[in-house]
A = this chain, B = another copy of it.
């Protein structure tokens, strides 16, 4: 396969979209890191750029001049293969390079990539380029959720944009989709791009189960809160209960009880909770406790994948009961790209679906997202099974 014009378009459109996400920001918003899980927006801008410089331009672009030797140190993330890096918790302590300098870096690298496209039609580049583009799309989602955290954590609760529709109203009747016991095929099954963790299509045996046609809504979650859900230890995992107590958790992230009315911070600013919208910004621990309370459970990722064509999805990343583990015959890629997925396959849960923050063309029915069980800053949600 050679590098096609459509791949170039895909690349350029991706580069542009990242910058579009930042349009509403003040320069100050690019810099801060209120919690360790969040990265400063300028770091995302630099890191996604560094990926192309490090893995493509340095090795394949004849005569390429590195933009700044120090950036490799500043914008490397977890790629231990490639050298030293700023520890994650220090990203928000760096005022330099300036935002302008980071944009200069982006444009310099984007131009060099365009030039490389025009000169080098080497198909060897195809795979790493495709990963680079998808890597940047993945960061677009983090970029947006990190921006939300930066603004939503600020006592002034500034608005990001009045156009962003976080909360699709889903006034759906509750129905249960039944699937029969038997062997199902799981995993990626086409020529299109996917990550290594989806490969190795294989059989699993599922017992008969039912899965909800809809996501759990704010109204249902408020009922759980009102029924004392955060105060009944027997609904929770032991580790979840410790997390509730230690962090004094009483509601989803971004929720504020204002004179007895639930409000939440959205990218449009503070607003009243819409009862029919699907719940979001909850941890796995909370999803699990809710399911216990309902006498149901969360689906496994296999149950979700086998049933997904029977219900709409894509507005919330959906917590599953499955631990993030390798599929049979999973093999880690060599070198730095091998650090992409495999090394996180312990003590995390799989999420399926996609969210309002997921860029187009960046999810599919076999996509396996994963997070630690206490994290809430993504647009997470869940549906029930039984």
A residues in contact (CB < 8 Å) with B? 26-34, 42, 70, 73-74, 78, 80-81, 86, 90, 92-99, 150-151, 153-156, 158, 183, 202-205, 207, 209, 233-234, 236-241, 284-285, 288, 297, 321-323, 325-326, 328-329, 338-339, 343-347, 373
List 5 A-B pairs, minimum CB-CB distance, nearest first. A323-B323, A34-B93, A205-B205, A28-B95, A29-B95
Q: Which B-chain residue is minimally distant from A183 (CB atoms)?
A: B205
14 contacts between A and B (CB under 8 A): A26-B98, A27-B27, A29-B95, A32-B32, A78-B238, A92-B92, A93-B153, A96-B154, A202-B207, A203-B207, A204-B205, A237-B345, A284-B346, A288-B346
User: Are B240 and A346 touching (Cβ within 8 A)?
Assistant: yes
Bound Cα distance from A236 to B343, whole angstroms = 7
Name the distance in Å between A150's Cβ and chain B's nearest Cβ: 6
Q: Which of B74, B203, B284, B325 contacts A155 (CB 8 A)?
A: B74
Bound Cα distance from A156 to B86, whole angstroms = 12
B contact residues around A326 at 8 Å (CB):
297, 321
Most chain B CB inside 10 Å of its own CB: which residue of A74, A95, A322:
A95
CB-CB under 8 A for A80 and B233, given A26-B96, A29-B95: yes
Q: Which B-chain residue is minimally distant from A329 (CB atoms)?
A: B207
Name the distance in Å between A260's Cβ and chain B's nearest Cβ: 21
B contact residues around A241 at 8 Å (CB):
80, 343
Bound Cα distance from A234 to B300, whole angstroms = 29
Most chain B CB inside 10 Å of its own CB: which residue of A86, A94, A236, A325:
A94
List 4 additional contacts besides A28-B31, A32-B93; criterion CB under 8 Å: A27-B98, A28-B99, A70-B155, A234-B339
B contact residues around A297 at 8 Å (CB):
326
Copies of this protein, total: 4
Name the distance in Å between A105's Cβ and chain B's nearest Cβ: 13
CB-CB under 8 A for A95 and B32, given A234-B339, A240-B346: yes
CB-CB under 8 A for A346 and B237, given A74-B155, A323-B323: yes
Q: Which B-chain residue is minimally distant from A41 (CB atoms)?
A: B95
User: Are B34 and A31 touching (Cβ within 8 A)?
Assistant: no
Bound Cα distance from A297 to B325, whole angstroms = 12
B contact residues around A373 at 8 Å (CB):
346-347
Bound Cα distance from A239 to B343, whole angstroms = 8
Q: Which of B32, B81, B345 contacts A92 (CB 8 A)?
A: B32
Q: Which B-chain residue is minimally distant from A284 (CB atoms)?
A: B346
CB-CB under 8 A for A238 and B343, given A95-B26, A156-B96, A156-B97: yes
Bound Cα distance from A116 to B175, whole angstroms = 52
Name the distance in Å between A352's Cβ and chain B's nearest Cβ: 16
B contact residues around A237 at 8 Å (CB):
343-346
Bound Cα distance from A158 to B98, whole angstroms = 11
Name the distance in Å between A157's Cβ and chain B's nearest Cβ: 9
Bound Cα distance from A322 to B300, whole angstroms = 14
B contact residues around A73 at 8 Å (CB):
155
Name the distance in Å between A301's Cβ and chain B's nearest Cβ: 11
Name the distance in Å between A24's Cβ and chain B's nearest Cβ: 12
Bound Cα distance from A321 to B241, whole angstroms = 26
Name the distance in Å between A345's Cβ and chain B's nearest Cβ: 7
Q: Which B-chain residue is minimally distant from A97 (CB atoms)?
A: B156
B contact residues around A31 at 8 Å (CB):
28, 31-32, 95
B contact residues around A202 at 8 Å (CB):
207
Name the distance in Å between A107's Cβ and chain B's nearest Cβ: 19
Name the distance in Å between A36's Cβ and chain B's nearest Cβ: 12
Bound Cα distance from A42 to B325, whole angstroms = 39
